[in-house]
Chains A and B, each alone.
Chain A
Amino acid sequence: MTPLIAPDQVPYLPRGVRLADDRVRGLRILQAPERAMQLDQIGDAILSELDGARSMGQITRDLASRYNAPEDQIAGDIHDFLTGLIERRMVFVRDAP
């Protein structure tokens, strides 16, 4: 299938989608229209990086150096995770300026 995001594009949380704490269950969640999605630590770490400025490639490099992990493996994880959210319209993508 056609990729929905390229490394030089900027992923961001659009209006109506936000990270939140589920205090009752002790979880991090992504709140979105009609949907609250439970996040694991990796999902939370990736989404916390979406600042609307950095591209997916820059975020990948930053996370790889912070967690001292191989960049190509992290790139695959981030790409797959974001693709799932783009398909659900919970992450939007724009071209880098």
Chain B
Amino acid sequence: MKDLPAQPRDLDGNPVTPRAPMAMLAEVTHRCPLACPYCSNPVELTRAGNELSPADWARVFREAAELGVLQVHISGGEPGARRDLAEIVAGAREAGLYVNLITSGIGITRARLEELDRAGVEHVQLSLQGIRPDMADRISGHPGSWDKKMAFADWVTEIGFPLTVNAVVHRQNMERLSEMIDLSERLGARRIEVATVQFHGWADLNRAALMPTREQAAFARQVVNDARLRLRGRMVIDYVPADHHAIYPKACMGGWGSTGLNVTPDGTVLPCHAAQSIKGMAFETVRERSLAEIWSLSDSFNAFRGTAWMPEPCQTCERKTVDFGGCRCQAMALAGDARATDPVCSKSPLHEQVVARAEADAASPTEALIYRRMTKGG
């Protein structure tokens, strides 16, 4: 185990000042009954034998709370694939965290959901891959998923949890966005998150089948705007637009290493869920160090803190503390350099190329999907 530096410095050696994190994503397993072709898990999945124990998680949650984390998002994979999920949840509540459960709804029975209620889950987010069985089951690669999800949503509201629907949209289901919003309202959801597929990892393998067209992106924006007016005071709509069609990039993680952190099933601590796609970046694990040391002193968290590391055109851009140069993983994927201006930004020299490639993918006739799978032996 290599020593951590004594002072926090970015990848150029400039001093940086870590703030306290607010939120933690706890990916308690990579196992999942679904095989969504845009899964945010890495292409190299962690096996069950390497997963942290509930006692490990309880310690990590205590350290997170001491560091300033207020909310934990317990996710996966499918967190319900862990039989000891309630024990993990209880550890998070005992640490004083607000507990969000992010689930596919597959594999958690009503009795287990009641157990999770007693353990302290405060809010449930249910993923939606499409509307009706044809689309939902095809995208998730899981026959019967739609019926199971609808039953699960009823249990969530019967028990009384606040419900958020997570709808992931892309070229093959975007036309039916208003139906997804209507369904969420019927299910009694307080919120729906409409997120356009982010083209990293698995989704990048499926660009030609999933990339929305420019017209679809504009249509989705209009549907969201209309629904927000109609549903004011009844349901909140959060929207992540298609950034390949935007003028400016997304503010990645609200600033690298500034507000959030992600712990993977084996205890690796990441500044964002896709950070392992950045070549040459090394990550620490909670098996060897405290979360506080990792947050404050690890090279990975400090690499892109502050603004001193930014190249042009970010360095002199008035938006540098608004969007932080965009997404580092997207810069890695599209520019081959994690410190480059996110190529979806209209100020990036690669922007035209990125837009042309997105439009070519959007025009592709292919609908065939490469599903997320563990490699042999998983």
Q: Which residues of A contact B161 (CB under 8 A)?
A: 15-16
Is A40 interfacial (CB-CB < 8 Å)?
no
Q: Which residues of B contact A16 (CB under 8 A)?
A: 122-123, 161-162
Say which size band chain A's interface belongs to: 20 to 34
Task: Please measure, in the bound complex, the distance between the C-alpha atom of A20 and the C-alpha atom of B234, giving whole angstroms.
Answer: 25
Q: For window 62-92 of chain B, which residues contact chain A by CB distance below 8 Å?
A: 66-68, 70-71, 73
C-alpha gap A61/B250 in the complex (Å)? 45
Q: A33 and B233: CB pair below 8 A?
A: no
Contact string against B for A residues 1-28, beta-carbon threshold 8 Å, 1 for contact and 0 otherwise = 1001000000000111100101011000
C-alpha gap A24/B234 in the complex (Å): 33
Chain B contact residues, CB within 8 Å of chain A = 20, 22-23, 66-68, 70-71, 73, 98, 100, 122-123, 125, 160-162, 164, 190-191, 232-236
Query: Are B70 and A88 touching (Cβ within 8 A)?
Result: no
Q: Are B70 and A89 in contact (CB under 8 A)?
A: no
| Contact between chains at A24 and B67 (CB < 8 Å) | yes
Known A-B contacts A1-B232, A16-B161; A33 and B70 likewise in contact (beta carbons under 8 Å): no
Q: Are A33 and B160 in contact (CB under 8 A)?
A: no
Give the residue name and chain of the B residue nearest to A34 (CB).
B100
Q: Please, which residues of chain A bring their CB within 8 A of the CB of B190?
A: 14, 33, 89
Min CB distance A31 to B, Å, is 4
Question: In the docked arrangement, what's the CA distance between A1 and B190, Å?
Answer: 20
Cβ of A95 to closest chain B Cβ, rounded Å: 15
- Greatest chain A CB density within 10 A among B22, B125, B162, B235 is at B162
Residues of A within 8 A of B122 (CB): 16, 31, 33
Closest-by-CB residue of A relative to B235 is A89
Q: How far is the CA of A16 from the CA of B164 in the complex (A)?
A: 12
A36 is an interface residue with CB less than 8 A from chain B: yes
Taking the closest CB of chain A, its distance from the CB of B74, in whole angstroms, is: 13
Given A1-B232, A4-B233, A36-B98: A31 in contact with B162 (beta carbons within 8 A): no
A-B contact pairs, 24 of them (CB 8 A): A14-B190, A15-B160, A15-B162, A16-B123, A20-B98, A22-B68, A22-B70, A25-B20, A29-B70, A33-B100, A33-B122, A33-B123, A33-B190, A33-B191, A34-B71, A36-B23, A36-B71, A86-B233, A87-B232, A88-B236, A89-B162, A89-B190, A89-B191, A89-B236
